[in-house]
């Protein structure tokens, strides 16, 4: 059935719901905005806009600002989303756990960072006690739900972790215990997918792009033709676990020679330890600092990591032909070191007719994952 016919035969209730979401999204992206501009941008009648806005004001999705005097005596009032609607965002990483409160516009009201308890039950208890604290500290806010960003893949139906090689909590259900404890909607998503959502929701939209999170492992979120690629069991985009060398070192996933054992932060630390066996155990930021202080072995380890990142990115470019690839992680602090090397590897072997995408470092990486949790929880009210 052609699209237009589908819309013609839609019930009045479906049309009303779609119009409501169009208006909500216009307000979200253009706020503060007047009713006249909503009518102009949506192509809806002024009377339709007035009814929808009235409903959204009654439901406290919106607030109305003061009348603004304009030339020729018109005094429109401007509408914006109600900042009292908030989301609890949780960014669970193998070493660090962040529990934050953000408003509907992705502005953070509080943020608490603790080391990740290695036992999943202990981690759940730690999360619960922080969420309880947030609820008691912000009694006037209307909490819309809890969004979790995870270093792994989540089964779309059960919400259990199906694949988390750097966390090793496979089969853990984080969703049901949190939903039961707080009576709030709980949404879970892979960290890289969350960054794709954050970018779609808060930044310039693009139809085809990839987010690469480089840390203990390499995560990948893929937007194809404007849609997040999820695949069967939510497993799409695991480029980090494609073998670059089947005879290579063991990976956390159980296979050998995956891209992430060559291009992750851990890989760079291994390269450094190999050339410098007496060196004390370092963190990745230590390695970046040493390279900046002209430690040639540290610089060589980072260069080897960058080269291998380039090799894997070439695989993504060949498979998906994205407009841009956004790279997230500590390595963006030394982007002059990484960016050039990656671009050189890409430029060396492009396909005839192929397109070389922009490779962009994203700063404030923790923010992208947390803002993604806001989009994750709110999207069911906004998506058409
Ligand atoms: Zn692997």
pLDDT-based confidence at residue 74 (cuts at 50, 70, 90): low
- Distance between Cα 258 and ligand 1 center (Å): 5
Residue 169 or residue 258, greater confidence = 258
Which among 244, 237, 250 is positioned nearest to 304, based on CA atoms? 244
Sole residue written with tokens 């989303």: 81
pLDDT of residue 137: 96
The residues of the chain that CATH labels 3.30.420.40 are 85-198+368-382, 204-362
- Distance between Cα 310 and ligand 1 center (Å): 17
- Distance between Cα 244 and ligand 1 center (Å): 10
Residue 384: pLDDT over 90? no
Per-chain residues with Cβ under 5 A from ion ligand 1: 241, 251, 253, 255, 258
Q: Peptide bond before 32: cis, by omega within 30 degrees of 0?
A: yes
pLDDT in tens, 44-56: 999 999 999 999 9
The residues of the chain that CATH labels 1.10.10.10 are 3-81
- Distance between Cα 194 and ligand 1 center (Å): 21
pLDDT in tens, 276-328: 888 778 999 999 999 999 999 999 999 999 999 999 999 999 999 999 999 99
pLDDT of residue 161: 86
Q: 204-362: CATH homologous superfamily? A: ATPase, nucleotide binding domain (3.30.420.40)
Residue 69: pLDDT over 80? no
- Distance between Cα 259 and ligand 1 center (Å): 7
- Distance between Cα 309 and ligand 1 center (Å): 15
- Interval 117-130 mean pLDDT: 95
- Distance between Cα 353 and ligand 1 center (Å): 31
- Distance between Cα 94 and ligand 1 center (Å): 16
pLDDT-based confidence at residue 1 (cuts at 50, 70, 90): very low
CATH number of the domain at 85-198+368-382, out of 3.30.565.10, 3.30.420.40, 3.40.50.150, 3.30.70.100?
A: 3.30.420.40
Which positions ≥6 away from 351 have C-beta within 8 Å? 318
Question: What CATH code is assigned to 3-81?
Answer: 1.10.10.10
Q: Using CA atoms, how far apart are residues 156 and 105, in angstroms rounded to an integer? A: 26
The region, left, alpha or beta by phi > 0 then psi within -120 to 50, assigned to residue 187 is: beta
Q: Using CA atoms, how far apart are residues 224 and 229, in angstroms rounded to an integer? A: 6
- By DSSP bridging, strand 227-228 and strand 77-81 are unpaired
- Distance between Cα 152 and ligand 1 center (Å): 12
Question: Does the pTM exceed 0.95?
Answer: no
pLDDT of residue 108: 94
Q: Using CA atoms, how far apart are residues 256 and 1, in angstroms rounded to an integer? A: 48
**Strand order across the beta sheet in which 209-214 lies:** 227-228, 218-224, 209-214, 324-328, 358-362
- Distance between Cα 172 and ligand 1 center (Å): 20
- Distance between Cα 243 and ligand 1 center (Å): 7
- Distance between Cα 242 and ligand 1 center (Å): 7
- Distance between Cα 105 and ligand 1 center (Å): 36
Q: Using CA atoms, how far apart are residues 50 and 48, in angstroms rounded to an integer? A: 5
Q: Using CA atoms, how far apart are residues 306 and 342, in angstroms rounded to an integer? A: 6
């Amino acid at each position: 059935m052609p699209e237009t016919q589908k819309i013609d035969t839609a019930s009045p209730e479906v049309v009303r719901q779609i119009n409501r979401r169009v208006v909500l999204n216009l307000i979200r992206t253009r706020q503060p905005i007047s009713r006249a501009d909503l009518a102009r941008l949506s192509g809806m009648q002024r009377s339709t806009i007035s009814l929808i806005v009235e409903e959204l004001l009654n439901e406290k999705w919106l607030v109305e600002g003061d009348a603004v005097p304009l030339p020729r005596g018109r005094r429109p009032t401007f509408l914006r989303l109600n900042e009292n609607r908030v989301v609890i965002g949780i960014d669970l990483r193998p070493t660090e756990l962040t529990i934050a409160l953000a408003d509907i516009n992705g502005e953070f009201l509080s943020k608490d960072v603790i080391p990740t308890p290695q036992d999943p039950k202990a981690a759940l208890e730690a999360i619960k006690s922080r969420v309880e604290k947030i609820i008691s500290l912000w009694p006037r806010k209307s909490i819309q739900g809890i969004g979790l960003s995870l270093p792994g893949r989540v089964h779309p139906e059960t919400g259990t972790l199906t694949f988390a090689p750097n966390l090793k909590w496979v089969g853990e259900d984080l969703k049901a215990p949190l939903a039961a404890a707080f009576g709030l909607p709980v949404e879970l998503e892979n960290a890289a997918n969350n960054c794709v959502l954050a970018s779609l929701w808060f930044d310039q939209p693009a139809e085809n792009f990839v987010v690469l999170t480089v840390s203990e492992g390499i995560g990948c979120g893929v937007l194809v033709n404007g849609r997040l690629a999820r695949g069967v069991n939510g497993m799409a985009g695991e480029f980090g676990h494609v073998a670059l060398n089947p005879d290579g070192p063991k990976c956390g996933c159980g296979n050998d020679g995956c891209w992430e054992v060559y291009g992750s932060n851990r890989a760079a630390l291994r390269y450094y330890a190999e050339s410098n066996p007496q060196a004390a155990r370092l963190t990745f930021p230590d390695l970046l600092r040493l390279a900046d202080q002209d430690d040639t072995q540290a610089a060589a380890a980072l260069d080897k990591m960058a080269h291998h990142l380039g090799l894997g990115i070439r695989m993504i470019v060949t498979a998906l032909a994205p407009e841009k690839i956004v790279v997230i992680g500590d390595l963006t602090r030394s982007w002059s070191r990484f960016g050039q090397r990656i671009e050189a590897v890409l430029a060396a072997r492009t396909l005839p007719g192929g397109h070389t995408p922009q490779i962009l470092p994203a700063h404030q990486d923790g923010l992208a994952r947390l803002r993604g949790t806001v989009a994750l929880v709110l999207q069911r009210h906004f998506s058409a």
